[in-house]
Amino acid sequence: MRIIHGYELYRSYFDVNFIKIQRIKWVGHVVRMSKNHTTKNVFNVQPIGTRRKDRPNLRWIAGMEKDILVLRTKNWRILAGRRLAWKRLLEKAMDDLVLPCH
């Protein structure tokens, strides 16, 4: 096993946060899409039925909402609809690197 040094840990922390911020940025793009766009329809779909017992009950959007809550925004879908406000939120998140690595 290889020893991991501090700068490597910091870099991986930065990389994880960068990826999370890019995913949040993409969610804002999807929210602003037209209602008949396939990507938006897939994003808004509610699964029918239940999962097997051994599968987690979370959807991709649940993890995304958890990351967005860390940014202290109340109604993120409305904020994502306003491009400049959403961009400011992402810039602030990138400056602060506030998203936890879980």
Residue-wise pLDDT tens digits, 23-59:
889 999 999 999 899 988 888 887 787 777 777 767 7
Confidence at residue 11, expressed as pLDDT on a 0 to 100 scale: 62
As a whole number of Å, the end-to-end CA separation of the chain is 23
Ramachandran sector of residue 49 (left: φ over 0; alpha: ψ -120 to 50; beta: rest) = left
Q: pTM score, two decimals?
A: 0.69
pLDDT at 83: 93
Q: How far is CA 38 from the centre of its chain?
A: 20
Q: Is pLDDT above 90 for 84? A: yes
CA-CA distances (angstroms) from residue 18 to 7, 51, 53? 16, 31, 33
Q: What angle do CA 49, 33, 37 make, to 5 degrees?
A: 60
